[in-house]
Structure formats: structure tokens, C-alpha cells
């Protein structure tokens, strides 16, 4: 639905399937889609066991070819992949993860238990009409500590 799909402030349903070292988990959330000049942003809340453990999440896709995947204000063309995806967490946990194919980006997870420093090296980013897929490795220093994937599916609420 990215190509020609959503208007600004469209309420959406999000399903995020994460795989970390072969173990899968699924998160379902309600969110909001917003078009940007260079891509789009999705906002949702990742609920904790207690309200004070909730994490606000912003997922921003920056398109490499300058297409506007929402179709807002111009005819939509189908993008092949975002140039980068930036995921920002605020609330009980704070972090900013940058996924850019073939590039490693350092990040710091600020948690109530202390900071975790790591690097995210993105192997691939892809996008279809209603899904974004990120495949990446996590490094602590020079040591690879995990192989992960995120598949984010979006549909109108």
C-alpha cells in the first residue's frame, strides 16, 4: 500500500514479525501513517507490561529515488526500496536505529538498567506494496552477536 495507498494521518494496523537468531516474535499495533517529501513515517506505541514501560516508536522511510510512496501531492511511482529506514524509540527505552543497506551504524539503547552500545549492519532493505523488510547483523565492538530480520506489514485500520 506504500505506492498509491495512504493519505496523511491515515490510521493503520501494523504487524511486525521479528526474527532474532532464528527465534520469531510478532507484535501487533495500531498506528498512524504520515507522508513526507522524501518518504513516509509511521508512528505507533509498543506497549509494556505497565503503562510506564510503554515505548513510542517512529519508523521513517527515506526513499532513494525521490518517489513519494504515499501518492500524496503527486502521482505515485512504485519504489523498489527505501534508501534508509530510521527507527526511533522514546519512553521506557530510548534508541535510534539506522538501517542503510551495506552500511554499519552505531547506536545506543538507553534502558532503565543502563546503556547498551552496538552497531547495526544492514544486509538488505526491501519493500513491497504493504511490507518493509530489513535484514541485519548486530555487533558489539568487532564481534557479531546476532542475525536479525524485521518484516513490517501495514494495512488500513
Task: Go through the chain and tell me how many residues it has.
Answer: 157
Distance, CA of 156 to CA of 104 (rounded, Å): 33
**pLDDT tens for each residue of 24-54:** 999 999 999 988 888 889 999 998 888 888 8
pTM of the model: 0.84
Query: What is the domain partition of the chain in residue ranges?
Result: 10-156
Distance, CA of 37 to CA of 39 (rounded, Å): 6
- Topology annotation, domain 10-156: Lipocalin (2.40.128)
**pLDDT tens for each residue of 82-130:** 889 999 999 988 999 999 999 999 999 998 899 999 999 999 998 887 8
Amino acid at each position: 500500500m506504500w505506492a498509491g495507498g495512504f493519505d496523511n494521518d491515515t490510521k493503520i494496523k501494523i504487524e511486525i514479525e521479528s526474527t532474532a537468531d532464528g527465534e520469531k516474535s510478532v507484535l501487533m499495533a495500531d498506528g498512524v501513517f504520515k507522508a513526507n517529501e522524501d518518504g513516509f513515517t509511521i508512528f505507533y506505541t509498543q506497549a509494556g507490561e505497565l503503562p510506564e514501560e510503554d515505548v513510542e516508536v517512529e519508523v521513517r522511510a527515506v526513499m532513494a529515488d525521490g518517489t513519494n510512496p504515499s501518492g500524496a501531492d503527486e502521482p505515485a511511482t512504485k519504489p523498489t526500496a527505501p534508501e534508509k529506514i530510521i527507527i526511533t524509540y522514546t519512553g521506557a527505552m530510548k534508541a535510534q536505529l539506522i538501517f542503510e543497506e551495506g552500511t554499519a551504524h552505531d547506536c545506543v539503547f538507553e534502558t532503565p538498567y543502563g546503556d547498551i552500545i552496538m552497531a547495526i549492519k544492514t544486509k538488505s532493505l526491501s519493500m513491497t506494496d504493504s511490507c518493509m523488510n530489513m535484514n541485519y547483523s548486530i555487533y558489539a565492538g568487532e564481534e557479531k552477536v546476532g542475525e536479525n530480520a524485521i518484516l513490517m506489514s501495514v494495512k488500513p485500520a
